[in-house]
A and B are shown apart, each in its own frame.
Chain A
């Protein structure tokens, strides 16, 4: 059971969290976005071995945040709130 640091509630069991996707997967707006770009946004994930920047949501407080963690060692490197803006 991993411990994830919610920027609002502190360290909590991983079962309280949901994965929200890669951080930095910026949404292209518009009906004429090139299909490759849209496909990339919708479906293609980096799935790195090692350090990863991800969006997570702490279900108990409902807040989304960015967490950096190592997918190999499960070490949590950092976590920060979205800062009122995009998870760029």
Chain B
């Protein structure tokens, strides 16, 4: 008989509501209010998992977030790996499995590994399995080591909520310090948010003795919470503050336990009170990882909250006063108790029933699968089925350190305490080193002192007070046996000694070399003993060794919480055309182009896409094509300085453009590189429309605003991005004009009134339309811009009228072929981050312009003037050859090796020309038309002849046809 449920007591459990769940396939019975750990303990399940590396049997150590051993993978309502059994409420029907154990924690088939422990010390994998290749061994080693398993096939059916929250004071921790601070802050008229990771507030008051303002401590806790809620303050149980980020943003992970995913809170408090308590440390003795060896405070917590007595013959081992209350409680619960204190004197009184051995420490524990006895450092042997251990308390200062708080070593407390205060953050209670309730309340009062007078009186401790006497008991170098420092990562005293021998003496190196303090518990119980040992080995003090850096999250947070709704289609939402549904009905197959979802072609889902695209491109040249160009940028530049402004922004002089006319031009970056190309429309003297590339609208807009605000001032220019306000429908082809004439847009399409590169206005169904005669196909084209919400009837009309002309709907793929036939470039495809305007054949402004423009000086550098620059060319292949591969390199031979002399940027089969066409950037290409060069792609060499970029209608007759 060992651990068992008592017939009476248990403040957290409801004996009228029994529940059942499974652990490693076996049924476990418990009560509502149990955690998985308390239910397992009540059922005397000693072995709850296997250790990370050696597959040692491990039992429950703690009762809270610090738990290193009792990790379970949960399936059922939600699948979650590596859940701490100590913080996970037991629920009806949960399926839980131990981690790193096959088939079960009790009968793990890799348990043999522990016998090889001496061959696999810390960092063994850096030194072994090197021959012939580590990767040969890696998969097996990785499969044998590790913790829980992610269920790769499981996806959450719902998304996690994310909440933004503001308050005057955020209090983290609802123990005595947090409750007092929250109540005092509320009394000062501040809005308070109180969060606590437990389901029931109260912290240590839930299992430690105390009397506050004349009432039992647990009653005071309930009353305080009720008063806060009644006053309209927010109290969030089951919520962990997992990190403090820049400017004191606090992240909270709220759990629900009803099937909903966790909720992520982003809190911006004016002030933060950290009342995060302290975590009990283990003591160093051989085999201190055996199941049945628990934190003393956890033993008390299980007894008081869940009525579970962790053993019958209990040894309480301690170096401090806090375990005396535990010894007294377990002896009163009926256990046979021996208390072993390393100190000779200065400890609290105990009932006579507790056997007390002073001035002795545990040397080792023994037992095969669970603890059966202990040996003291004088050789005395004691039988035991449970050892409750207290090695002192480590204040939970993680959040304080997230906020860049510095720690100060306290020899009296044998712990790091918060050092110099951090702006906006106060630390109270055990986290600040307070032990007695009186000290705790004093620290809470101090924490909110800056908030002004409070109407609430500071609570008073009216019962017995805890004392904080301690004599440090750090692991010592040269100790006998296997003394565990880090349970979760299987790090022993010998591993730390090994690291020190190999000169990994910095605490950060120690962590990485031995994995001390890594994984899900992040060393909450092991960090301090580990670095104290390193201090002992290297003859330094603990503060000289220092701590590793504390980083969020304090406890694991589901990735789904950070993702929130940003998943699937919402991960990177596409922009959509106003006529998307109409295009779908026409058989459009959509693809994403530069953030826009656009028709690739209209062949329908099952069609041969290449044939559909070729068909569209051919027919567009024959009669007339309709194209949705709504994504084209339409950024208006308005104001008395507008002309001067566009002159500065463009490589080309734009101020000479006459109202009603359009001009093609480049925008450069300050380093001279072509940033965007497009048509600038001058509507009137002081009003331009920048028609930039579809995927570049946001970037061009930002650029215009930057120069407007930083160089020209806000008053004389106004910039308005009208891109999504208007749909742009393009009619292109030899019959474009005839088609438009049948539609009737209330304006003259005569050559004199609307020549190529001119703009005019008409009306359609009462709405103004703007018609620009610009062409990206090389054929006569009209771009008709109309209010986006009125575009559908016009599009329908164009299609209906188009029937008489055998009009074809073309998608973006066909348009790409048409523009490549003409040698028209796409920025970012036919250019790269080194392409200057004169590389594209635009030499004029560079040679002649006298006025300033963006990127000007960069066009006259040594680099810009290099005579072997890559220049835009067309490339033709020998008759019968397939199209070149985009990205293939033009090569030249020299010193016995191949060298690149440029590359293919665009390549298509032209249905109109009946041969492949290509564009490329080739060294000195402009001067080498007619020259045949070698092209290499994936090791194969072919040839191509350099030509002018324009392969079709070089005279441009079709623009006016």
Point out residues on A near B: beta carbons under 8 Å.
1-3, 14, 18, 20, 27-31, 33, 35, 38, 41-42, 55, 57, 62-64, 73-74, 82, 84-87
Contacts and interface: CB of A to CB of B under 8 A. Distances in A.
A87 B713 CA distance: 11
Interface stretch (B519-527, B701-709, B727-735): B701-709
A2 B246 contact: yes
Given A1-B246, A74-B246, A85 B713 contact: yes
A2, A38, A87: residue with the most chain B Cβ atoms closer than 10 Å: A38
Given A1-B266, A2-B246, A62-B705, A30 B857 contact: yes
A57 B706 contact: yes
Contacts of A14: 246
Contact of A87 (B247, B710, B856): B710
Contacts of B266: 1
Contacts of B129: none
A29 B709 contact: no
A57 B857 contact: no
Contacts of B857: 28, 30-31, 33, 38
Given A1-B245, A33-B857, 15 more contacts: A1-B249, A2-B246, A2-B247, A14-B246, A18-B702, A27-B670, A27-B711, A29-B852, A30-B856, A30-B857, A31-B856, A31-B859, A31-B860, A62-B702, A64-B710
B671 A3 contact: no
B345 interface: no
Given A1-B245, A31-B857, A38-B857, A86 B705 contact: no
Contacts of A84: 713-715
B858 interface: yes
A42 to B, nearest CB: 6
Nearest to A4: B247
A45 to B, nearest CB: 14
Interface in B686-713: 702, 705-706, 709-711, 713
- By Cβ-Cβ distance, the 8 closest A-B pairs, closest first, are A2-B246, A1-B249, A3-B247, A64-B709, A29-B852, A84-B713, A38-B857, A2-B247
9 contacts: A1-B246, A2-B246, A3-B268, A28-B857, A30-B856, A35-B861, A38-B857, A55-B710, A84-B713
A52 to B, nearest CB: 16
Interface of B: 245-247, 249, 266, 268, 404, 670-671, 702, 705-706, 709-711, 713-715, 852, 856-861
Contacts, number: 56
Contacts of A38: 857-858, 861
Contact of B247 (A1, A20, A29): A1
B710 A82 contact: yes
A75 B856 CA distance: 38
Nearest to A1: B249
Nearest to A85: B713
A41, A63, A64, A74: residue with the most chain B Cβ atoms closer than 10 Å: A64
Contacts of B670: 27, 41-42
B551 to A, nearest CB: 15
Nearest to B698: A59
A31 B713 CA distance: 23
Contacts of B710: 55, 64, 82, 86-87
Contacts of A28: 857
A42 B856 CA distance: 12
A14, A28, A74, A84: residue with the most chain B Cβ atoms closer than 10 Å: A84
Contacts of A86: 710-711
B671 A42 contact: yes
A40 to B, nearest CB: 12
A53 B713 CA distance: 20
A55 B705 CA distance: 13
Contacts of A85: 713
B246, B670, B710: residue with the most chain A Cβ atoms closer than 10 Å: B710
A41 to B, nearest CB: 8
A80 B266 CA distance: 27
B853 to A, nearest CB: 10
A66 to B, nearest CB: 10
Contact of B702 (A41, A57, A73, A82): A57
B709 A82 contact: yes
B863 to A, nearest CB: 10
A62 B671 CA distance: 24
A2 B407 CA distance: 23
A74 B403 CA distance: 11
Contacts of A18: 702
A68 B828 CA distance: 35
A38 to B, nearest CB: 5
A35 B863 CA distance: 12
Nearest to A41: B670
A1 B860 CA distance: 43
A28 to B, nearest CB: 8
Nearest to B719: A62
Contacts of B860: 31
A73 B246 CA distance: 9
Nearest to A35: B861
A30 to B, nearest CB: 7
Contacts of B706: 20, 57, 64
A64 B559 CA distance: 34
A55 B713 CA distance: 15
Contacts of A30: 852, 856-857
Contacts of A41: 670
B856 to A, nearest CB: 6
A29 B670 CA distance: 11
Contacts of B245: 1
A57 B706 CA distance: 8
A82 B713 CA distance: 9
A63 to B, nearest CB: 7
Nearest to A84: B713
Contacts of A33: 857
B94 to A, nearest CB: 35
Contacts of A35: 861
A30 B849 CA distance: 11
Contacts of B404: 73
Nearest to B710: A87
Contacts of A74: 246-247
A4 to B, nearest CB: 9
A33 B670 CA distance: 13
A86 B245 CA distance: 34
B404, B702, B859: residue with the most chain A Cβ atoms closer than 10 Å: B702
Contacts of B859: 31
Given A64-B709, A64-B710, A42 B852 contact: no
B709 to A, nearest CB: 5
Nearest to B702: A57
Contacts of A57: 702, 705-706
A42 B669 CA distance: 10
A77 to B, nearest CB: 13
A38 B863 CA distance: 14
B670 to A, nearest CB: 6
A47 B671 CA distance: 20
A10 B266 CA distance: 18
B247, B266, B715: residue with the most chain A Cβ atoms closer than 10 Å: B247
Contacts of A63: 709
Contacts of B246: 1-2, 14, 74
A73 B858 CA distance: 37
A33 B856 CA distance: 10
A63 B860 CA distance: 32
Nearest to B711: A86
A33 B249 CA distance: 46
B671, B714, B852: residue with the most chain A Cβ atoms closer than 10 Å: B714
B593 to A, nearest CB: 23
Contacts of A82: 709-710
A73 B852 CA distance: 40
A61 to B, nearest CB: 10
Contacts of B713: 84-85
A64 B706 CA distance: 7
